[in-house]
Homo-oligomer: A and B are copies of this chain.
Amino acid sequence: MPGSIFGQIFRISTWGGESHGKGVGVVVDGCPAGLKLAERDIQLELNKRRPGQNKYSSPRKENDKVEILSGVFEGVTTGTPPISMMVMNKDQRSRDYSNIADVYRPGHADYTFDSKYGMRDYRGGGRSSARETIGRVAAGGAIAKKILDEFGISILGYTRKVGPVEVDMNTFDASVINENLLRMPNMDKAEEAGRYVDDIIKEGNSIGGLIECEVTGVPAGLGETVFDKMDANLAKGVMSIGAIKSVEIGAGVHVADRKGFDNNDFARYEDGVLIKETNNAGGIAGGMTDGSPIIVRAAVKPTASIHITQPSVNRQKENIDIMIEGRHDPVIVPRAVTILEAMTALVIVDAMLMNMTARMDYMKKVYE
């Protein structure tokens, strides 16, 4: 399927992203009836990803105001009209893109768009633009997370590393994540990373990072066993975020160095409760959740647009040097955390809905 739809039962169709189009939006099909939902629920989540908030993100004033166009009646989802949500673009002044219309910017998808479609909407990045993620956040970050909340499932995303500055997970402090611009779970590291990014800004360069997401309260047994494994669907959802170049579950790349005895998680019952001493599996075995926290990690590449002259080519097949105008984010890592949470929420809600159909006794609970 051609790509703008995600999910099997809880399905979202995002649209827009051309920064000078009329707006961006998302249509959510398959949201169960009976969920309380208001525009402010969506708005709160969208505000988290909004740029222009601080020195690390570009100072466009995107006063993103979401509207729910259908699917909610008297504050509750109705089940049938899909929930359609939209953010109109305020700022449609006709910027001049003629200088980039013909060039292929390093690290951008300009050349691949042209190769695929024989043409390209060069205004502001098109479907690869960060604005496309508004739909993901409205659907996943807001609605899907609200459903999970009803079942005591919560998702916590954070920045684990910015360039060389990494948080030691033994010093993890959830309470400070929203206290620092880089969304790191350790205040000292956040400050150190902040100073590092200041230097990057002075260079006109950009820097990558590592983001992580922990999901707690997940019942055991979610996810399918062959192709639609929980980890496989998480991998797809997370890798579909622009700028992500790796997805890891639990111990991730580190299992390559491990021996079986060290990597196996040992379970014990303590006072009748199943406890895993370690969580190298990241909460997933055989594609299904095991009841311990799901751990997903992803590497975010440094922003492609930088204030340094770079060699490249143009549509006329000439070699050129290019300096990209405008201000750009030196680090998109903290904003990617919001999208990571949104995609994770979408995958888990979808798996919960699918899993309802897995057993005859569940059918009997619903129909008898």
Contact = CB atoms under 8 A, between A and B. Distances in A.
A169 interface: no
Which of A3, A18, A306 has the most chain B CB atoms closer than 10 A to its own CB? A3
Given A5-B5, A227-B6, A263-B302, A317 B249 contact: no
Interface string A356-367: 111111111111
Q: List the number of copies, as a whole number.
A: 4
A41 B120 CA distance: 22
Given A73-B121, A119-B33, A208-B263, A2 B228 contact: yes
Nearest to A121: B73
Closest 4 CB pairs of A and B: A109-B286, A3-B224, A116-B221, A206-B260
B245 A70 contact: no
Determine the interface band of chain A, counting residues with CB < 8 A from chain B.
35 or more
B127 A226 contact: yes
Given A246-B249, A306-B261, A22 B67 contact: yes
Contacts of A265: 106-107
Interface in A17-34: 17-18, 21-25, 27, 29-30, 32-34
A239 interface: yes
B78 A117 contact: yes
Given A264-B106, A306-B261, A300 B255 contact: yes
A262 B207 CA distance: 10
Contacts of A171: none
Interface stretch (A50-58, A179-187, A230-238): A230-238
Contact of A13 (B21, B82, B235): B82
A174 interface: no
B302 A78 contact: no
A156 interface: no
A197 to B, nearest CB: 11
Contacts of A234: 239
Interface in A199-257: 200, 203, 205-210, 219-229, 231-240, 242, 245-257
